[in-house]
Structure 1
Amino acid sequence: MSAPPATISAAALQDFVFRSFLAFDMPREDAQAAAALMVEADLRGYDTHGVFRLRQYVNRLRGGGINPAARIERVRETAATALIDGGNGLGHLAMKAATELAIEKAAQAGIGWVGVRNSNHAGPAALYVLPQTRQGMIGLCAAVGSANHVAPFGGTDLLLGTNPLAIAVPAGRQPPFLLDMATTTAAMGKIKTLAQRGEQMPEGWMVGRDGRPLTDPNRRDEGFLLPIGGPKGYGLAMAIGLLAGALNGAAFGSNVVDFTADTTTTTNTGQFVAALSVSAFGAPETFAETVDAVFDEMRGSEPLPGYPPVRIPGEGRDAAAEQRRMSGLVLHTNLIKELQAIAGELSIPGPL
């Protein structure tokens, strides 16, 4: 019988991740910023993209695939746009800088679009669109996936990633609209989480090269993920790759490096963050009232028989995050074992 899950405070978990990064001589400010974003992902329920990913980051830091002392530089810049180079550091740091710069530009020009190259996996895209809403802005973010798990529609060659997209829109008296999605039926992180927990995945997430469904997450390398909506999801994934990858001089298509399988090669991951100022289009108060009314109208729709009440994308995440801040985060026993193993490898105290 497996051990039960354990509860750990957000502060203790963040401190453990912080100390893990310090073990690689990462600057304290960078280690603290990355650790905070990773734990924020878990607090918001993105447990497939939070501390669960520490093993991959540690392996790449150890293997030389991520630069612990990266310097972020602006390569190109206009009043409303910029291209930054992440210095092959943790993607969280490059994306945090990109988000802050996009907001700064949108405050002056009405819109800010910041492309990122030479980055790495950065956790859930939601982290880089919510800050805009706190400034009365709309946030947009997308990225080239950190490994190719998808074939072009009708093909068999792995040339596309899950290529996530996130959009956040501020409201008035209600939490913001928040859409954070992969362009595949399921994100690879969910499948890796199921593998770690010893659980199966449902049909429709993956197929083998023979076109038959795959349900064993440990056999994920034998097939590929399915795009949402068939050719529509394929087209959306490709569009994101062109905007976040090709436009920024970052990897896309066969140039993408599998950041889990290869711990030594620079991935040159591409992303972008945008901020759109609501005040550039009209009175923010009017917009907020309109958004609130739209939310109410959507929720007021009569649900189909057997369905729960209609929800707004992102609804409940703010409240759940606050609850977890107070009561702690529940970690699966296998994740705890992985974190304890990391602690042993880095000669630092464990998280519990």
Structure 2
Amino acid sequence: MNAYRVSQDALRRFIEAVFINECLPPADAATVAALMAEADLQGSDGHGVIRLLPYLKRLRAGGINKHPKIRVVHERAAMAVVDGDNGMGHLVVTRAVDIAIEKARSAGVAWVGTRFSNHAGPASLYARRPLQHDMLGLYFAVGNANHLPPWGGTEALLSTNPIAAGIPAGDEPPVVLDMATTVAAYGKVKALAKRGEPMPTGWMVDRQGEPLLDPKRSNEGFLLPIGGYKGYGLALIVGLLSGTLGGAAMGRDVIDFNADHVSVTNTGQAILVIDLAAFGDPAVFKQAVDTLVRDIRGSERMPHVERIWLPGEQSFDKRRKHAQNGIPLAPALLDELDALAAETGVTPLARLAPT
């Protein structure tokens, strides 16, 4: 069976209706739904509508505060710490990025961290937000479940702890890097399990260090860090910056939100925003980025390599294709969403946007 395709707008409206049905304030439901649909639009299918049911489990169990009072608890000219009051992570991080953008206008640079946040979707969504203001963004987060042991160990004390960067360009697409500090993000493991596909060798190993290929057995092993011990070190630093520094959970304090729907996760994220105007004419910077992008893309290729890609180009291409042709949803996921529509009484996707 081929994947079902749905428009971004239909997906957004479906998600929004489900959240409103779960008593999220309409404005909050709209914000979260828009970001989740955008995640699927750019091909981040491990962080889009596939997360709707897990979010609902936490909302229904009281693990997420439906009416948070998100507030700044520490602040100076170029920094702030935002307490999310255990609200939806999308709301908390959006507030943090907005504060960082405003502070960067006057200070030139701003660092804003979060505590008592929750899972917020793909990191690149937030690193991209400063781009429209001629600013660049660097985003860091503590993952919402530990899947990575320290190098040589067997106790999972670290998570995928992602890094994202959004660098504006001129005529070229922006350079947008979004990467876990593990070889693959755990959301990709979930997406493969939903599609019934195996994991590639090198994503996970079992407790004896042997390759683990079945995503449905992922709880029997560990994700592998990028670059061996270097990736382990990077995951640790990202966690210290985005978690420990702002008073959020790290190490043994991290709650596995896949298994525990009640406990407060105290998730931490951080955004660093830099105003290009603080360093000179933004147009000059963006022209230089364009030149570098074209030099890299046009550089000599190895045999059998059709194209050299820049970070973010493939997501940019998926945004364009999915906007034209619809966002693909796996049949198993669509079945879950249809069942959810019947349970909650919201209009099913098939009626919002027929195939």
1:27-106 aligned at under 5 Å gives the runs 27-106=25-104
Output the CA distance in 2 between the equivalents of 1:313 and 1:181: 10
Q: 3-state DSSP class of the match of 2:319?
A: helix
Shift of 1:103: 0.6
Partner of 1:187: 185
Alignment-derived partner of residue 353 in structure 2: none
Asked whether the equivalents of residues 72 and 87 of structure 1 are also in contact (C-alpha less than 8 Å), the reply is yes
Please say if residues 142 and 268 of structure 2, whose CA atoms lie closer than 8 Å, have aligned partners that are also in contact. yes
- Kept in 2, the 8 Å contact 1:25–1:69? The answer is no
Query: What's the CA shift for 1:316?
Result: 4.1
How far the C-alpha of 1:133 sits from its partner, in A, is: 1.3
What residue number does 2:155 align with? Answer: 157
Counterpart contact for 2:61–2:262, Cα < 8 Å = yes
Q: Determine the C-alpha separation between the residues in 1 that align with 2:115 and 2:189.
A: 27
- Code of the residue aligned with 1:347 in structure 2: it is G
Partner of 1:124: 122
| 3-state secondary structure, aligned to 2:268 | strand
Picking from 200, 207, 210, the partner of 2:208 is 210
For residues 328 and 272 of structure 1, what CA distance do their matches in structure 2 show?
Answer: 32
Give the alignment partner of residue 345 of structure 1, picking from 331, 343, 346: 343
Q: 1:330 aligns with which of 328, 333, 345?
A: 328
Tell me how far apart the structure 1 counterparts of residues 340 and 270 of structure 2 sit (CA, whole Å). 31
**Where does residue 298 of structure 1 map in the other structure?**
296
Name the TM-score, length of structure 2 as normaliser. Answer: 0.96
Return the alpha-carbon distance in structure 2 between the equivalents of residues 326 and 31 of structure 1.
25
Q: Which amino acid aligns with 1:92?
A: H
Identity %: 50
**Larger displacement relative to structure 2 (247-256 or 330-339):** 330-339
Q: Within 1, Cα distance between the matches of 2:209 and 2:321? A: 43
Whole-angstrom distance in 2 between the partners of 1:350 and 1:265: 31
Partners in 1 of 2:278 and 2:126 — Cα distance? 21
**What are the residue-to-residue correspondences of 1:271-290 with 2, within 5 Å?**
271-290=269-288
The aligned residue for residue 4 of structure 2 is 6
Rounded to whole Å, the distance in 2 between the matches of 1:266 and 1:159 is 18
Which residue of structure 2 lines up, in the alignment, with residue 263 of structure 1?
261
CA deviation map 1:180-217 (0-9, x unaligned): 00000111111111111111111111011111110011
Letter in 1 for 2:174: P
Are 1:110 and 2:108 an aligned pair? Answer: yes
Question: Structure 1 316/206 Cα, relative in aligned 2: closer, same or farther at 3 Å?
Answer: closer
CA distance in 2, matches of 1:200, 1:317: 23
Shift of 1:101: 0.8
Could you list the per-position Cα deviations for residues 217-274 of structure 1 after superposition, in whole angstroms to 9, with x for gaps in the alignment?
A: 1110011000000111001100011001100110000000001100011000000011
1:129 aligns to what SS in structure 2? helix
Q: Where does residue 194 of structure 2 map in the other structure?
A: 196
Query: 319-328 or 14-23: which moved more?
Result: 319-328
Cα distance, 1:282 vs structure 2: 1.6
Q: Which moved more, 1:275-284 or 1:340-349?
A: 340-349
Separation of aligned partners in 2, 1:319 and 1:45: 9
Query: How far did residue 343 of structure 1 move?
Result: 1.9
| Alpha-carbon distance between aligned partners in 1 of 2:275 and 2:105, rounded to the nearest angstrom | 7
The 2-side partners of 1:76 and 1:308 are apart by: 50
Deviation, 1:322, is 3.3
Question: Equivalent residue for 1:176?
Answer: 174
SS at match of 2:72: strand
Aligned residue for 2:273, secondary structure, equals strand
RMSD of aligned alpha carbons = 1.1
Partners of 2:194 and 2:330 within 8 A in 1: no
Superposition misfits of 4+ residues, deviation over 4 angstroms: none
Q: Show the counterpart of 2:310.
A: 312
The reply on whether 1:24 has 2:58 as its aligned counterpart is: no
Amino acid at match of 2:166: A
Gaps of 5+ in 2: 351-355
* Residue deviations 1:283-310 (CA, integer Å, cap 9, x gap): 2121111111111111121111122221
- Displacement after TM superposition at 1:9 (Å): 1.7
* Aligned-partner Cα distance in 2 for 1:246–1:125: 18
1:105-155 per-residue CA deviation (whole Å, 9 max, x = no partner) reads: 111100011100000000000010111111111101010000000100010
Query: TM-score normalised to the size of structure 1?
Result: 0.97
1:238 corresponds in structure 2 to 236
Q: Secondary structure at the match of 2:187?
A: helix
Q: Report the Cα distance in structure 2 between the residues aligned to 1:349 and 1:99, rounded to whole angstroms.
A: 33
- Cα distance in 2 for residues equivalent to 1:223 and 1:167: 29
SS at structure 2 position matched to 1:139 = strand
How far apart are 1:319 and its partner, in Å?
Answer: 4.2
Cα contact 2:134–2:276 (8 A) shared by 1? yes
Cα 1:299/1:322, change in 2 over 3 Å: closer
Structure 1 contact 302–309 (Cα < 8 Å) conserved: no
Post-superposition offset of 1:323: 3.3
